[in-house]
Amino acid sequence: MSLTVSDLLSRKELRLHLVVEGLPGYLDRKVVWVHQSELLKSREFSEPGEILLTTGLNLPHWRQSPTAPAQADPERKDGGAPDPAAYRRMCRDYVQGMFEAGVLACGFGVGVEHDAVPKPLIDAARQEGLPLFEVPLDVPFQSIVRAVSRSLAEDEHRLMRTTYAAQRRLISAAKDEYPLHSVILRTAESIGGWAAFLGPDGYVADISHIAPRAQAEQLGVEMLAQRNSGHEGNAPRTMFLLKDGYDYCASEVRGADQSAHGFVLAGIRAPEETDMAFRSIVIVAAEILSACLPQREAMDKRQRHMRAVMLRALALGHVDILRDMAADLWGALPQGPVCVICVSASQNARDDLYRRLSTQTGYGGSPTAGARQTSPVVFGDYDDRLWIICSRQDLPAYRKLAGAADGDGLPVVGVSRPCLWEHIVGAVDQARIDVRVRTLRRAADVVGSDSAGYIGDLSQVDIVEPEVAETYALGVLAPLIRGRGQSQTRMTLLQTLRALMETSMNVAACAERMRVHRHTIENRMDRIEQILGVDLGDVRDVSRVWFALETLKRGAVRGDASLLSARSVPRMQQGRGVFSVASGGRGADRHA
């Protein structure tokens, strides 16, 4: 520990004698440095926390005599008696200057210029409350300086050892499976307080303890305001705050491009003096996260992509695949019956909701304090929406969370009826339809506003029950899908019909897209009309066929075997966002 005035006085080898104890607590204050000065006006040359040593070289000899002349010069060195009042005033100014400069104590060396500490100096020290001690003649001032210097060096080495040990622990934590949470936990353990990681906007993404979460959020707002109040491009990377008996430190985490990734914020009970080890550890934690977080963010992006892939597989009905991957991606699957929540919102709102879900569930790359470990939830992106699958009892909480996503415009939240995992595909469709219906209602409520434009963007397929749409599509296209003749030829005709719809029934454009002659397209159109019993020149028939093809496309994306049988349909593939069929090559086109 740092040397105090009391510690220095207790050194037996120094044989220092305390003359004036000073104000209460002064002897227990830490010594910052010690220096010698014979200047009577040393205020400008002293700093707070120092001990000043003097031999009183510029103080006249004190020989109080009631017969001394009233106008005696206090600066006399001829052995005459100075004026007592002037001498006391000199000592009072001398001591007051030291006290106001923050000097902890004054050490007076006797035997050089004065045989004893002058009485007026003792009285002035007692009046100001400044500790005063006597230094024997055979104790050089250098011994006192050496003792203080050695103590300060030990403190510095102790700080280095503490910081180095904490740095090793933090580096080891950065190698953990969840580096962010591990580093935050180790930081809290090392400082004996709490620590948190705040995003660039002040949101608490990870915290070591549950209790100070609200406090951390408030401090994050205050420190961000403090940081942003400075000149742009010159914002401080580390900030300090003393508040309500606590010492807080925030250090910025930056990426390789110097962009802000967030802050490490930590708090401890305010010590009597600045805890440099506390601040050093927080800064080290921020530097370590600056090195490992960009890599972790890349891993989180891959994890988010994998979740999106799994949700797409789930929407296709592959629950078994999801069960195999759930432990790695979400920890576990919620117990059925489950509800599906579909959130239609802007990209930044979906990002905000995804981050909140990751933080609250503990599966966003780090199991944070207070995470909902006992109630699993599946979430991720699919079809330009964010999806949440939770147990029925957790539906209100997650529905509220989804509605509070922060972004451009209000999110639209659709919810399915409770179902078992075996019927999850139908629940996905229900949630999607619910979103569309709510979007329509919202647009209808604000007719004349920009929201009304949503109506024109809706697809008829999206607002019709999937079962009804699929039954209708089979009724229209069944002769072409499952009719007689070679399946390869029928699929080529189906592909041609799809291309015609995408080119607005433009024969030339369709021929160019399919790389065949336009007469081939016209011949295929005749065949299609014969097989389906439709007139492709009639807008009503074209509308029916388009609706059926859109439904078929969705069924193909979902892998619905009820639309296309494995026996009669070649391999399906999705390309350029449209339904297509892998044909046998151009030869099939020529023979169709």
Backbone angles phi, psi at 272, to 5 degrees: -65, -30
Return the top range by mean pLDDT from 35-44, 313-322, 493-502.
Answer: 493-502
Does 342 have pLDDT greater than 90? Answer: yes
Distance (Å, rounded) from C-alpha 360 to C-alpha 102? 50
What per-residue string of b and e applies to 195-230 under the rule 16 or more CB within 10 Å gives b?
bbbbbeebbbbbbbbeebbebbbebbebbbeebeee
Q: What is the pLDDT of residues 26-58, one digit of tens each?
A: 898 888 888 888 888 877 788 888 999 999 888
CATH architecture of 466-591: Orthogonal Bundle (1.10)
- DSSP lists the bridge partners of residue 250 as 239, 265
Sequence-ordered strand ranges (E) for 226-369? 238-243, 246-254, 260-269, 338-344
pLDDT for the residue 415: 93
pLDDT for the residue 440: 76
pLDDT for the residue 568: 33
Q: Sheet containing 105-109: give its strands across.
A: 17-20, 132-135, 105-109, 50-54, 33-36
pLDDT for the residue 197: 92
Distance (Å, rounded) from C-alpha 419 to C-alpha 235? 52
Cα–Cα distance list, 459 to 49, 464, 476 (Å): 76, 9, 19
Confidence of residue 16 (pLDDT cuts 50, 70, 90): very high
Nearest CA-CA partner of 81 in 95, 103, 66: 66
Higher pLDDT pick, 272 / 286: 286
| In the chain, ranges of CATH 3.40.1390.20 domains | 5-139
Q: Give residue 385's identity as a one-letter amino acid code.
A: R
Q: What is the pLDDT of residues 219-239, one digit of tens each?
A: 888 878 877 766 555 667 888
Long-range contacts (CB closer than 8 Å, 24 or more residues apart) made by 575-582: 578/498, 578/502, 578/553, 579/498, 579/549, 579/552, 579/553, 580/495, 580/498, 581/491, 581/492, 581/494, 581/495
pLDDT for the residue 417: 92
pLDDT for the residue 200: 82
Confidence of residue 516 (pLDDT cuts 50, 70, 90): very high
Read off the pLDDT of each residue in 185-204 and give the average, rounded to a whole number. 88
Class of the CATH domain delimited by 156-297: alpha beta
pLDDT for the residue 443: 64
Distance (Å, rounded) from C-alpha 292 to C-alpha 151? 37
- DSSP lists the bridge partners of residue 207 as 196
Does 392 have pLDDT greater than 60? Answer: yes
Q: What is the pLDDT of residues 255-265, one digit of tens each?
A: 767 777 888 99
| In the chain, ranges of CATH 3.30.450.40 domains | 156-297
Q: Cα dihedral angle (265, 269, 273, 274), rounded to 10 degrees? A: -10
Higher pLDDT pick, 394 / 551: 394
The DSSP letter of residue 458 is -
pLDDT > 70: percent of the chain: 80
Cis? peptide before 337, omega within 30° of 0: yes
Distance (Å, rounded) from C-alpha 264 to C-alpha 198? 6
Distance (Å, rounded) from C-alpha 505 to C-alpha 216? 61
pLDDT for the residue 581: 32
Distance (Å, rounded) from C-alpha 433 to C-alpha 425? 13
Backbone angles phi, psi at 138, to 5 degrees: -85, 5
Higher pLDDT pick, 101 / 589: 101
Residue 434 near residue 380, CB atoms below 8 Å: no
Higher pLDDT pick, 585 / 152: 152
Does 126 have pLDDT greater than 50? Answer: yes
pLDDT for the residue 571: 33
Q: Which two tokens stand for residue 352?
A: 């905000």
* Residues in CB range of 15: below 8 A, 6 or more apart: 136, 139
Class of the CATH domain delimited by 5-139: alpha beta
pLDDT for the residue 559: 45
pLDDT for the residue 230: 60
pLDDT > 90: percent of the chain: 21
Higher pLDDT pick, 224 / 250: 250
pLDDT for the residue 407: 66
* Residues in CB range of 309: below 8 A, 6 or more apart: none
pLDDT for the residue 299: 80
Confidence of residue 577 (pLDDT cuts 50, 70, 90): very low
| In the chain, ranges of CATH 1.10.10 domains | 466-591
| In the chain, ranges of CATH 3.30.310 domains | 328-458
pLDDT for the residue 565: 38
pLDDT for the residue 477: 84
Does 165 have pLDDT greater than 80? Answer: yes
Mean pLDDT of the chain: 79
pLDDT for the residue 295: 76
Return the top range by mean pLDDT from 194-203, 370-379, 463-472, 507-516.
Answer: 507-516
Does 66 have pLDDT greater than 70? Answer: no
Weakest-pLDDT range from 127-136, 176-185, 305-314: 176-185
What's the CATH fold of domain 328-458? TATA-Binding Protein (3.30.310)
CB 421: neighbour CB atoms within 10 A? Answer: 18
What is the three-class DSSP state of 486?
coil
